[in-house]
Each structure stands twice: as C-alpha cells, then as structure tokens.
Structure 1
C-alpha cells in the first residue's frame, strides 16, 4: 500500500477544454524542485486521450488516461465550462486511479470530475465559490463547503478557485516533503508560504439585486453606514417594512437573516481596511461598527477563518513581495 512518503509520480488528468492557470500552476510546482532540495522530486506526467484545448493553447499529452492508474497522485485541473459534462473516459480513469490507491486532488472546477466519479460522496469538498451551489446540486451526497480554500480527506482533496490551487499544491508538497521544502517552493513562486485549508476564500459573493428591487436601496444605504449601530427595526423602518417582512425579503435575496448579512458586510469592510490602511485593530473595529477589538477578532475569525492580524500580515506580505 502506498503511503504519503512514497508519493512521487504526479499525473495531470486532462480531457476536453481546460483553464490554463490551474494546469500551469500544478506543472510549475511539481515539475520544478527548489534549488536547495537534494531528495528525489516528482515525476510529472501529462495524461489525456488526445490534443487538449488549454485556454488559447493546444497541448499534446505525454501519456494516455490509462497511465493514471499507476500514478501516486492524480491532479484534475479546472474545466473550462461546467455546463459541458466531463468526458466519460476521464471520469472512469480518475475513479480507477483512486481505486488503485492514488491520492486524487481537484483544482477549482475539476471538482466536478471528482463528483462525477463518485469520489465526493460523503466527503467535504469545495470549488470556486461561484460554482459551489451547482456542485452541491449535482452531487447532493457531497458535503460542499463554499467558504474554504481547500479540503483534505486524505485520499481525496479539492481546492477552490485560482490562488487556492496554489495553496492546495503547496499543501501536498508540505505533506510529502515537509514545511521547509514547501516554504522554499512558495518563496520561488513569491507567494505566502502556507495558508490553511480552513481559511475562507476571501471573497464576497455579489448580491443579485436589481435596481428596482425593494431591498436595492436599503442594501446600499446600509453599506454606507456600517460604522453605525443598526438594528432590524432600523432596517425595517428604512425599507418601510415590518421586521417580519424584512426578514422574509432578506432571506429570499441573500439567504441570510438581516443581522447575519449585516455582520458579513462589516467583516468585508474590515478586510478592505486591513488590506489598504494602517488603522489599528481597535480603529477598524470602530469603523466597521463592531465596537471593540475583541468583538472584531471573534467575528472576523468566525466569518473569514483567520484572525484579523493574520489576515493583514498575509496580504501585506503578498504586496511587499
């Protein structure tokens, strides 16, 4: 039985049309060892049934999909269009590789291939936040988490969009070679060394509220007053609704109760201030209506997944690099 320490063959499972970023990230990380690594590195295989359309490029795989079954790690890059069903031969090859003992990981929308192969059933999974609802709808037995960077179920891993693909690949290097080597890879890429999978995707899902919707004006009005104490009664009065009507409208539009939505907006504003200003944590707490640094830290970590101090250091170090 293969163990993590034995893993060295990384097969990129490809078919159909792919997004080039995630494929390039995986190839870059697993194909090129850091200069200070003296131990054996990965053997990277590009596997597919034929010519691939990868963004604007045409790529020729080195091996067929049958090679996945003897790989140690199988990576499924992002599909270009989730409305196109994954090719049956890709689904079967990924399933067979997992049954043969391979560690299987998806990057961004590659999770739809894992779902079609039945590998997400009963497991936590994620993908780009814009597609988590669809992933959950197609694979209801999967436990889809829209808020994390990546999930690790041991033999099945999934990553959210774009930058999270880097995080998951670094996580795999960390598992196989340790933190020092993973950090060395990150330095070469000029990215933060390691972000835990439980961190949030650091995005705010856009509200689909048309200009003539009864909540459109209220949402804009509220976001201009995040530094002020606001109650459900305040919001209901502004919208000329009863608190019960307001709650019903908020849930239908945002999927959240009014105060839940308001808290998320305060945290999003705090993220902006932490990234763009030198304001103290106390100052950010006041500016976002959370009052005290203690409250900000508690709520920020609950929504984002990391403390505000850690969030600020991560984004500041990324910009400095």
Structure 2
C-alpha cells in the first residue's frame, strides 16, 4: 500500500449527490436499523431458548441473523451520521475497513443461504441419512467455512484495490465504500483488479446461487415423484421462507451487477443497494417468523415465559 494513500480522504455522497441534512430520512433509517437489530436478535434468542429449535435448519437461521446484524451495522450508522450531521468524509483506512466487512459479510450471507439449501436438500431427498449427515460438527464446519472463505475473498480484493493510487479528495457516488466505485476513482491502471473481480469474484458470488438453484431443482423433482399433494405442500412450505430470502438477496444483486451497461444508473443503483444492504436484513426475521409455525410457537412461549416471570 502506498504511503501517500494514507492521507487520502474520500467523500461519500450518500443516496443523492445533492443530499442535505435530513431529519426525516434520519428518523426513517433509524427506525429501520432498530427494527433490524431487534428482529434478528429476537430470532437468535428464541432459537437459543427453545430446545425444539436446536436443529441444523434453525442453527443456520440463527447464524444468518447474526450476519444480518453485522451486515447492516457496517453501513447504516455512517448513513445516519450523514443525514443528521451532514458528515460525508471518510478516511482511507475507514473506507477500506468498511468495504472489507461489507463484502465479507455479504459473501458470508450468500454461502449460508447455500448451506441452508443443502440442509433442505438432505432433509427432503435423503431423510433417512439426515440426522447422521447433518450432525453438529458438520454444521459448525459449514458455518466456519462460509465465514473463512468470505473473509479471505474480501481480504484479497481489499489488498489489491488499496495498493492502487488515489489522487486527493475523491467523491464516491454511493452511501458506502463499494469496490467498483473505488476502482473508478483510482489514478492507476485497474485492468488487473477488474479482471480479478470478473473471474474470482464472479465465481465466489455466483457459485452459491447456482448451487441453490440446482438444489431446488432436485428438491422439486423429488417432491413431485415421492410425495402426495398434502405431503408435497407441507414439505415445500418448509422451503418457502428460504426461497423468499434468496429471491430478495440475489434479485437485487443481479439487478445491480448483471444487467446491460446501457441501463446503468448511479441513482437506481444506490436505491437498489438500500434494498439488499438495509431492507433485506430487516425483513429476514419477519419472513422466518411469520411463515414458520415452529418459530411463531417458540416466540409465543418465550413471550409468555417473560410475562409470567415478571408477574411472579
């Protein structure tokens, strides 16, 4: 990393290039942030407190909630500061730290979603082997592998992009430090970085998505062959929450990174980025609680337990 880069200061332009202090936007995103923290934390507590939920599927959901809490915390507090105080500047080190954790946690979430698809595939297509295969040790290794792979992937790109030269104060047309935005600001030749993102980055991002698609093709095929109408619907309902989260997460990412350049728009990209970076982490606990009878039942029991303990 070149020493002169340490004095570089970036300017995050936020959701709009002409954005000013806004108490209304601050309040809106503060409410979203609080709901995200509380919703995901409650999911983690409920799963931990109810022994019936100590299964691989809920173990993965609990880790997904933890990632969502961290993922939204990487960007939203600084966005809140810009709305309330008009603070847009970010140091070189802080910018790359934000980019590192944003990319790492985003990739971790995609890998956990793939692991959850594998869990559903084993439960539906290999029910006799499910308990033996999906043991606590394997589940822990799958989660650890997801975190390790994602954080190493992010470290690779942070190191290579941070070694580029950046000239003076630079305006980032986004509300967080994004890899592609930083590449556009560099004074150096970014061909190698772009090639690395296109090759290694595409493989790491799209491999979990392809795995999820293949898993559900096999699951649907198995449901059609081996289950009756009522049993088929019951099995598929266990996958509906996961499919909804996958659709929200990957739908926005594909819209931003895998569409024709003729349709490129900075403003639309920032708005869509809010969906997967801010809105989706808020919606995930509601999707898993409202569409899952086990979680709803456990939530009621924990709530009754808390109320009863206060009354006594």
TM-score, length-normalised on structure 1?
Answer: 0.24
- Higher helix proportion, which one? 2
Higher relative contact order (CA 8 A, sep 6+): 2
